Amino acid sequence: MADRKEPPTITLEPADARLRVEFGGEILAESDRALILREGRLAPVFYIPKDAIRWELAAPTDRVTHCPYKGDAQYWSVTAGGKTVENAIWAYPQAIDEVAPIRDCVALYWDKMDAWFLGGERLENPTS
């Protein structure tokens, strides 16, 4: 019998300051209620409450992916300042119970956004 791969440890914690994400010269998201999801050795991901996103800058796409540790994700593209990025936002609206707090949140790809700020300080991309 083959060895089963252990699932990664997933933790969620509140961000300790106001998060702001900019794209195309616009503030795309801003919240005091962002969560930081850490999953195994992957870079941390901010999950931002859906009501903190400027949805007029986003459009749903047909992309759907599955994560065995979070559930099925849906995606949105973002357009601002004459720029468009496909599938830049994702969400797990029916996230599994172990990560239930992200059900009402979305995440953004670090490298597809122009700038990230936490408590007014610019953040460096943890994936680079």
Q: What is the pLDDT of residues 69-80, one digit of tens each?
A: 999 999 999 999
- How many whole angstroms separate alpha carbon 16 and alpha carbon 32? 8
pLDDT tens per residue, range 42-57? 999 999 999 999 999 9
Q: Which domains does the chain have, with CATH numbers?
A: 12-119 (2.170.150.40)
Average pLDDT value for the chain: 94
The confidence score (pLDDT) of residue 98 equals 92
Confidence of residue 29 (pLDDT cuts 50, 70, 90): very high
Residue 111 burial (CB count, 10 A): 10
Cα(first)–Cα(last) distance of the chain, in Å?
A: 38
Residue 127 burial (CB count, 10 A): 11
- Say what the pTM is: 0.92
In this structure, which long-range contacts are made by residues 35-42, counting pairs with CB atoms below 8 Å and at least 24 apart in sequence?
A: 35/101, 35/102, 35/105, 36/12, 37/10, 37/11, 37/12, 37/99, 37/102, 37/107, 38/9, 38/10, 38/11, 38/12, 38/13, 39/8, 39/9, 39/10, 39/69, 40/8, 40/9, 40/10, 41/8, 42/8
Sequence-distant (6+) residues with CB within 8 A of 99 are 10, 12, 37, 69, 70, 71, 92
The confidence score (pLDDT) of residue 54 equals 98
